[in-house]
Amino acid sequence: MRFKNNTALVTGGGTGIGAAVARRIRSEGGNVALLGRRPEPLHAIAEEIGAAVVAADAADSASMKAAVVTVVETFGGLDILVANAGGHGVGPTISMSDETWDLAIRLNLNTAFVSARETLPHLIESKGNIVVLASIAGLFAGPDAAGYVTMKHGCIGLAKSLARDYGRFGVRTNTVCPGWVTTAMADEQMEFIVEKFKLKNIEEAYALVTKDVPLGRPATAEDVANAVCFLASTEAAMINGAILTVDGGAGTVDLPTLAFAEH
């Protein structure tokens, strides 16, 4: 029971990777607070696993501050932040609108920064840790995704800064970079690829975008949750500032233009 007597706050906790992380932490004895803007999926996961729900915008300072107060009052403290909220920012630079660029900043980078800033006082007190969900798009540039790529690079920089500045206070910060992951968000992108390349189904689309990945398949949300929960546990007590890829070895080869990251 790696997370017994620990409390974790998971942003973007209602679907995909966030939900898988929440399930894993609860199954190993931890308290979990699910945070997001849409209450319906949050409540569905909370009912399934016995978690708390905090409907809030992780990119909004006042909203996040109030959410952290609620979590601490409910559970008596906070030990883990999983900064998982993210998405959007796809499109070529030459046609990307200011609105799309600003949304990419808000959903990917601001959510990580604001949630880290507002939880840090409590994580310092508990000598807890932060796991930032970035993407392999934070390590190299996929095609026509300037907003997403830039912000995921920024998430890695933020995590490195947090590791450098707050490790002295006992707070570890590490980054997980998934490749393609079979989530509802990625399924939507696969539908686009099905249409563009005249494929039969999304399974063929996943096979196409991962055909040059050494392990030959996309990750599952549970694969990513395993990495997140390792870094969040005491098993990783001396790991601070690390970047862990969950991509089947995608970063070891020159990938075709289809194989940009999902998270």
* Token pair 């790529």: residue: 149
pTM (predicted TM-score): 0.94
Q: What is the mean pLDDT of residues 73-95?
A: 94
The confidence score (pLDDT) of residue 263 equals 47
> 90: pLDDT confidence band, cut at 50, 70 and 90?
confident
Is the predicted pLDDT of residue 171 greater than 60, yes or no?
Answer: yes
The confidence score (pLDDT) of residue 257 equals 47
Degrees, nearest 5: CA angle 235-18-46: 105
The confidence score (pLDDT) of residue 84 equals 97
The confidence score (pLDDT) of residue 230 equals 98
The reply to whether 148 belongs to the active site is: yes
Q: What is the mean pLDDT of the chain?
A: 94
Segment 38-68, tens digit of pLDDT: 999 999 999 999 999 999 999 999 999 999 9
The confidence score (pLDDT) of residue 196 equals 87
Q: Which long-range contacts (CB under 8 A, 24 or more apart) does 52-57 make?
A: 54/9
> Please, what is the angle between helix 202-209 and helix 184-197, to 10°?
90
The confidence score (pLDDT) of residue 89 equals 82
CA distance 213 to 16: 21
Is the predicted pLDDT of residue 154 greater than 90, yes or no?
Answer: yes
Q: What is the mean pLDDT of residues 173-182?
A: 96
The confidence score (pLDDT) of residue 256 equals 52
CA distance 206 to 200: 11
Catalytic residue, from 3, 148, 166, 180: name it.
148
Separation of CA 133 from chain center: 3
Give the Å distances, CA to CA, from 237 to 101, 112, 181, 260: 37, 22, 27, 31
